[in-house]
Amino acid sequence: MSEYLLKAVDISKAFVGVQALDAVSLDIRPGEIHCLAGENGCGKSTLIKIISGVYQQDAGYIEFNGKRFTRITPLEAIAMGIQVIYQDFSIFPNLTVMENLAFNTELAAGRRLVNKRRMRTVAEEALSKINFDIELDRLVGSLSVAEKQMVAICRALMFDAKLIIMDEPTTALTRKEVRALFEIILKLKEQGIAILFVSHKLNEVFEISERFTIFRSGKHIVSGNTSELDDRKFSYYMTGREFDAEPFRPRYEGGECVLEVENLAIEGAFEDVSFRLCRGEILGITGLLDSGRSELALALFGLRRSTGGRILVKGKEIAMGSPRDAIEAGIGYVPEDRLSEGLFLPRSIADNIVISEIDRLTGALSVLDFRRYRQEVEDWVRALSIATPDPENACSTLSGGNQQRVVLAKWLACKPDVLVLNGPTVGVDIGSKHDIHRILQRLANEGMAVIIISDDLPEVLQNCSHLLIMKDGRIVARPDPGSTDENTVLSHML
């Protein structure tokens, strides 16, 4: 038995001229929890696919259990005990838990006929490996995300897995569910199964992994013990940049009050919410999922009708009936789920940026003024450093962080007085996250009033001049972000 379960050595891979991996190496010990981190597009997924046999490397080799391979087929990978749990879990929502669990084994055994009794036995055995208790006849589509993930893990365990690769496993999980997942990972470790945990979330890397490897732009940057890693180093390895985590200090002088909210309420969601917001300020609103923070955001933008209280913009009461009213009053909104609410993914980046201000770019007879349109798009792509070779490319070609910038650009193009952001950096990698924070601070210093609604505590503490904490639909505390800490805020939230 060699010291390492898996050794990937000097792996290179290019796709039509783009070097996705440039002589990267990765090694995993038996029973180890290893975290592979890196920003979007750094080559993490490519390496996973090479290890699991989906792609073939151009150069380099893989050693598994001391056996050396220059190429692995998917079947060999499975036979050796390598299992990948993809981000979408590769499940069938329309079929039962039993079938989801048993299909792979049945197919691997080359069976042509269905034997329900055998499939049930197989499925029960799979569940017993992590003592996961669920009805075998339930449709997987009716399960929660965490339960689906458990099904995927159980399925992976059926092939005498020695290495389980989890691709961004925590993306759609609640905190509680993440904790449950970590317990399972530890249990698997006890059984001698190694876990390769692919993530770009800092706290997860610290919490669960023993060792880590970081890639950047297809290159291996560093490997080591997680205990030797800290916040600053991690960010540096990931992005190659040093970040100064300086808290936000308002610099805009003499900001008039632009938004006043008085006793605002939506029955069943929140009540009695009052605050004032001036130019140059960034207001943070935080709280648990059911605290009413999201509903408040929707109410500020006219997406939900308030049932009590009033909203004043620059001293004038606004009847907030629809997003149009909000836009006319000078309020912009960056939604929580940018993919479904904020962007037209198949359309071009340029179209997405100008969509909200399209009326302003049309000349006589409502014909689009193409010169101004180009100029406008170019300005925003530069101002927010959106990384694209051509703004005419579809928005879906961008990474999460860049998509978020497009959403920002779209609203900034309308020149709002107040910008409301709901979870502005969810699913965005560190570099982009930092950039977005800098952009928001700059906007505030230029005189915009900003509201950040987020449960990312470091984010609100670092970037906000004021902070509201909500719990059960009420504001429970208004601490000063400069003089409080995460634990205090958390204790108010819970």
Dihedral through CA 266, CA 270, CA 271, CA 272, nearest 10?
Answer: -120
Q: How many residues does the chain have?
A: 494
C-beta atoms surrounding 369 within 10 Å: 14
Query: Alpha-carbon distance 427 to 436, whole Å?
Result: 13
Contact flag: residue 288 with other proteins (CB under 8 A): yes
Contact flag: residue 393 with other proteins (CB under 8 A): no
Nearer to other proteins, 288 or 312 (CB): 288
Nearer to other proteins, 178 or 327 (CB): 178
User: Which 8-state DSSP code applies to residue 481?
Assistant: G
> In sequence order, what are the residues at sequence separation of 6 or more whose Cβ sits closer than 8 angstroms to the Cβ of residue 160?
81
Sign of dihedral through CA atoms 356, 361, 362, 367?
negative
Nearer to other proteins, 119 or 329 (CB): 119
Instruction: Give the binding range for other proteins (CB under 8 A) out of 5-13, 106-114, 202-210, 230-238.
Output: 106-114
C-beta atoms surrounding 415 within 10 Å: 11
The helix or strand, by DSSP H or E, that contains position 489, with its residue range, turns out to be helix 486-493
In the bound complex, what is the minimum distance in angstroms from residue 297's beta carbon to other proteins? 11
**Which of residues 171, 263, 322, 375 is near other proteins by CB under 8 A?**
171
**Which of residues 70, 73, 107, 370 is near other proteins by CB under 8 A?**
107
Contact flag: residue 79 with other proteins (CB under 8 A): no
In the bound complex, what is the minimum distance in angstroms from residue 422's beta carbon to other proteins? 9
Nearer to other proteins, 174 or 445 (CB): 174
Contact flag: residue 336 with other proteins (CB under 8 A): yes
**Which of residues 79, 95, 358, 368 is near other proteins by CB under 8 A?**
95
Contact flag: residue 175 with other proteins (CB under 8 A): yes
Contact flag: residue 295 with other proteins (CB under 8 A): no
Nearer to other proteins, 89 or 197 (CB): 89
Contact flag: residue 141 with other proteins (CB under 8 A): yes
DSSP for 173-233, please give it: --HHHHHHHHHHHHHHHHTT-EEEEEE--HHHHHHH-SEEEEEETTEEEEEEEGGG--HHH
| Exposed / middle / buried, residue 493 (Cβ in 10 Å: 0-12, 13-18, 19+) | middle
Each residue 191-220 as x (binds other proteins by CB under 8 A) or -, in order, gives ------------------------------
Residues in contact with other proteins by CB under 8 A are 86, 88-95, 99, 103-104, 106-108, 111-114, 141-142, 144-146, 171-175, 177, 288-289, 294, 336-337, 423, 426-427, 455
